């Protein structure tokens, strides 16, 4: 994949946020808060690091990505469309009857969707299975998944973390979106999971702590993860829920609602879209 400059990647992340908010506003429902917070990490992965051919999504040696937090599907779809896997015009079918772009991803390799997800935490173990398959078939592809702090309240997440370490899956990388917000409020109030990095290290993972909204740090962490041998890597990105639009940032109420027309107008202005 062609390497983009940091500024180009930052511009792509802004473009993803524009399409995310358009999709959710048009559908009248959806989850844009977490999609905004993770947009930079998704951009770094898809447009800097991922070994993937947009014109051949069935390529056997492609790197795999699983959106464990399936409710943040708008972010995945925006990235895949920008990558050229399908036409961006299709994004406006988001959450409509009969569209392949449902509220939670449905397995569809033609559209770049590697697995149906939604039940929080399952994607981590699914990614482990893909990574084990690569080893059994002597393939060099890497497997990434996006996990969240809220999702990590599920016990299966920690079973998957233990499994990846046990099998020394160094082709396995987790992007962990640590925005401290879930639908019921702030993580620190609902179920405090800190210290996250220490927990991964206790399970024998290589843990990298970064500002998950800083593109330079994201790209450096992805490089470090790819160079790490003998154990899986977790890139723990401290992010801001609703990042990019001031009226949404760090406010739990915007976890899973569509913006009003006035909020949408404000978002477009702050994201640099001229009316």
Whether 45 and 222 have beta carbons less than 8 Å apart is answered as yes
Does the pLDDT at position 2 exceed 60?
A: no
Average pLDDT value for residue range 248-271: 97
Q: What percent of the chain has pLDDT over 70?
A: 99
182-201 pLDDT, tens digit each: 988 998 899 999 999 999 99
Token digits of residue 145: 């998944």
Average confidence (pLDDT) over 235-258? 97
Within 13 Å of residue 225, how many CA atoms lie on the same side as its CB?
Answer: 29
Q: Give the number of other Cβ atoms within 10 Å of residue 163's Cβ.
A: 18
Cis peptide before 195 (omega within 30 of 0): yes
Rounded distance between C-alpha atoms, residue 44 and residue 163, angstroms: 26
Contact 37, 76 (CB under 8 A): no
CB-CB neighbours of 18 under 10 Å: 17
* Residue 1 clears pLDDT 90, i.e. is over it: no
What is the number of alpha carbons within 13 Å of residue 30 lying toward its C-beta? 33
pTM, full prediction: 0.96
**How far, in Å, CA of 39 to CA of 17, rounded?**
7
DSSP β-bridge partners for residue 178: 238
pLDDT tens, position by position, 42-99 = 999 999 999 999 999 999 999 999 999 999 999 999 999 999 999 999 999 999 999 9
Per residue in 142-187, pLDDT (tens digit) is 999 999 999 999 899 999 999 999 999 999 999 999 999 998 899 8
- The pLDDT score that the predictor gives to residue 67 is 98
Q: Please, what are the domains in the chain?
A: 6-270 (3.40.50.970)
| Residue pLDDT, tens place only, 119-130 | 888 999 999 999
Residue 227, pLDDT score: 98
pLDDT for the residue numbered 146:
97
pLDDT score for 103? 96
Q: Is 248 exposed, middle or buried (0-12, 13-18, 19+ CB in 10 A)?
A: buried
Q: What is the mean pLDDT of residues 248-258?
A: 96
Evaluate whether 173 touches 131 at the Cβ level (below 8 Å).
no
Stretch 29-33: mean pLDDT? 96
Looking at every residue in the chain, the average pLDDT score rounds to: 96
**What's residue 275's pLDDT?**
63
d(CA 139, CA 150): 32
178: helix, coil or strand? strand
Secondary structure of residue 182 in the 3-state scheme: strand
Structure-token pair, residue 44: 């770094």
pLDDT given for residue 3 in this prediction: 62
* CB proximity list for 172: less than 8 A, separation 6 or greater: 127, 128, 131, 142, 143, 164, 232, 233
Rounded Cα gap, residues 193 and 161, in angstroms? 15
């Amino acid at each position: 994949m062609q390497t983009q400059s940091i500024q180009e990647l930052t511009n792509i992340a802004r473009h993803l946020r524009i399409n995310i908010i358009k999709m959710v506003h048009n559908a009248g429902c959806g989850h844009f808060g977490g999609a905004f917070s993770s947009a930079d990490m998704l951009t770094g992965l898809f447009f800097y690091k991922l070994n993937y051919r947009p014109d051949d999504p069935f390529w056997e040696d492609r790197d795999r990505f699983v959106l464990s937090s399936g409710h943040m599907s708008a972010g995945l779809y925006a990235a895949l469309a920008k990558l050229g896997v399908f036409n961006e015009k299709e994004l406006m079918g988001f959450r409509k009857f009969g569209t392949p772009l449902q509220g939670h991803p449905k397995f569809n390799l033609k559209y770049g969707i590697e697995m149906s997800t939604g039940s929080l935490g399952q994607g981590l173990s699914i990614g482990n299975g893909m990574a084990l398959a690569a080893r059994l078939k002597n393939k060099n592809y890497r497997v990434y998944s996006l996990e969240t702090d809220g999702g990590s309240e599920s016990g299966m997440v920690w079973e998957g973390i233990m499994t990846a370490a046990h099998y020394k899956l160094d082709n396995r990388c987790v992007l962990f979106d640590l925005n401290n917000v879930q639908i019921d409020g702030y993580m620190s109030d609902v179920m405090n999971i800190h210290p996250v990095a220490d927990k991964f290290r206790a399970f024998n993972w290589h843990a990298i702590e970064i500002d998950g909204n800083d593109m330079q740090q994201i790209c450096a962490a992805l490089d470090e993860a790819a160079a790490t041998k003998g154990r899986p890597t977790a890139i723990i990105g401290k992010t801001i829920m609703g990042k990019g639009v001031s009226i949404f940032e760090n406010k739990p109420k915007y976890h899973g609602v569509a913006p009003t027309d006035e909020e949408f107008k404000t978002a477009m202005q702050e994201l640099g879209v001229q009316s």
